[in-house]
Amino acid sequence: MKFAQLVIGTAGAGKSTYCSNMLEYMASLKRTVHVMNLDPAADALQYDPSIDVRDVITVSQVMEDRPELGPNGALVLAMEEVSRDYAYLEETLGDYSDDYLIIDCPGQIELFTHLDVMGRLSRTLEGLGYRVAAVYLSESTFISDPGALVYSALAALSAMLALGIPHINLLSKVDLLADDMKKSLSGAFPDPHRLVSRLNMDMPMFSTVNDTIAELVADYSMIQYYPLDYTDDDTLLNIVAQLDHMLQFYDDAEVGGADFNEDPE
Ligand SMILES: Nc1nc2c(ncn2[C@@H]2O[C@H](COP(=O)(O)OP(=O)(O)OP(=O)(O)O)[C@@H](O)[C@H]2O)c(=O)[nH]1
Ligand SMILES: [Mg+2]
């Protein structure tokens, strides 16, 4: 069976670092795991990618051909071209039969909110027999600002709705938080009632909108964050357990291994 994690999230949230650490952790579990770099603007990477989009296209090449484009426009154009080129993806991905693929994506949020670039990629992977989950990283250093927290919760929600695949939200760089902020992550987070009272304090004129946003966050109780703290040994273990559950990683093994006709005696 083949599995894939589509690692997405805002620029600089820690996607490439997560891919590198997840690669190492999964290898320690003796899984056949590969990382694909899907960022045509990536500079130095902390891991050795098995598949690298920069072999096909780089942002600097696009900018040479289209000098009128800035780095952001060039990246979006490069990604649109890559996501249209199914042949390349099928050729390179098709080589792996039993596989766990971790895909390090670029940070431009419009690739899944305004454009169908990530949607096309996940459908291509599904067509190739992969079970795909989205791993969405938001930076935890913003959570003391209620406005930024709402923005990041709504961005995560829009990615989840746009992609329509199993989805897990991670709060990155938790090691940088003060202890009291770390404690606030246990239990319901973001707590909609706490969120609305903080928003109303900062922006009393928007209290109706604030109430509606808090209701939306509460309704989609799947806006649940898993803290990502590499100084805590359980961090990656918890995330892999959740992803295994969502992707039904062990189902095939259990069904194949159990002999339902066996006589209990
Ligand atoms: N303290 C701390 N720093 C981190 C963590 N994860 C990433 N960083 C740092 O954050 C910066 C950005 O990390 P990347 O992994 O390159 O982030 P990215 O999301 O891949 O960035 P883009 O590809 O540019 O969108 C780097 O300086 C990392 O060392 C973390 O868990 N804790
Ligand atoms: Mg990166």
Domain of residue 100 covers 2-188+224-252
Are residues 212 and 238 both part of a single domain?
no
Are residues 230 and 217 both part of a single domain?
no
- Ligand 1 centroid from CA 228, angstroms: 12
Are residues 183 and 198 both part of a single domain?
no
Are residues 54 and 93 both part of a single domain?
yes
Alpha carbons 259 and 257: distance in angstroms, whole number: 7
CB 36 within 8 A of CB 105: no
Q: Would residue 263 count as lying in a domain?
A: no
β-pairing, 99-104 with 51-52? Answer: unpaired
pLDDT of residue 262: 44
Ligand nearest the Cα of residue 18 is 1
pLDDT of residue 257: 38
- Tell me: the pLDDT tens digits for 131-187? 999 999 999 988 778 778 778 888 888 888 889 999 999 999 999 998 888 887 776
Q: Which residue has the tokens 């040479």?
A: 64
Are residues 232 and 216 both part of a single domain?
no
- Tell me: the pLDDT tens digits for 208-257? 888 887 777 777 665 678 899 999 989 999 999 999 999 999 876 544 33
Alpha carbons 30 and 163: distance in angstroms, whole number: 30
Alpha carbons 152 and 135: distance in angstroms, whole number: 14
Q: What crossing angle do the helices spanning 71-84 and 86-93 adopt, rounded to 10°?
A: 70
> How many CB atoms lie under 10 A from the CB of residue 32?
13
Q: Evaluate: CB of 37 within 6 angstroms of ligand 1.
A: no
User: What confidence tier does 259 reach under pLDDT thresholds 50, 70, 90?
Assistant: very low
pLDDT of residue 215: 79
CB 107 within 8 A of CB 12: yes
Q: Would residue 264 count as lying in a domain?
A: no
Q: Evaluate: CB of 138 within 6 angstroms of ligand 1.
A: no
* Residue 5: both structure tokens together: 């994690």
Are residues 175 and 90 both part of a single domain?
yes
CA-closest candidate to residue 45, choices 111, 104, 126, 102? 104
What is the CATH classification number for the domain harbouring 14? 3.40.50.300
Are residues 64 and 100 both part of a single domain?
yes
Ligand nearest the Cα of residue 140 is 1
Are residues 42 and 165 both part of a single domain?
yes
CA-closest candidate to residue 242, choices 230, 234, 232? 234
Question: Which range is most confident: 51-60, 113-122, 220-229?
Answer: 51-60
Q: Would residue 106 count as lying in a domain?
A: yes
Query: Once rounded to an integer, what is the mean pLDDT over residues 63-76?
Result: 94
β-pairing, 130-139 with 2-9? Answer: parallel
User: How confident is the prediction for the chain on average, in pLDDT?
Assistant: 85
pLDDT of residue 103: 96
> Which contacts (CB < 8 Å, 24+ apart) does range 90-96 have?
90/124, 90/128, 92/51, 93/36, 93/51, 93/125, 93/128, 93/130, 94/128, 96/2, 96/32, 96/34
Alpha carbons 257 and 169: distance in angstroms, whole number: 32
Q: Would residue 265 count as lying in a domain?
A: no
Are residues 161 and 215 both part of a single domain?
no
Burial 65-94 (b: 16+ CB within 10 A, else e): eeeebeeeebbbbbbeebbeeeebbeebbe
Ligand nearest the Cα of residue 137 is 1
Total domains present in the chain: 2
pLDDT of residue 258: 40
Q: Evaluate: CB of 29 within 6 angstroms of ligand 1.
A: no
Q: Evaluate: CB of 107 within 6 angstroms of ligand 1.
A: yes
Query: Once rounded to an integer, what is the mean pLDDT over residues 84-92?
Result: 76
User: What confidence tier does 264 reach under pLDDT thresholds 50, 70, 90?
Assistant: very low
Determine the residue of 16, 17, 228 to mutate for testing ligand 1's pocket, defined as the one with the most ligand atoms within 8 A of the Cβ atom: 17
Q: Would residue 21 count as lying in a domain?
A: yes
Are residues 169 and 212 both part of a single domain?
no
Q: Would residue 261 count as lying in a domain?
A: no
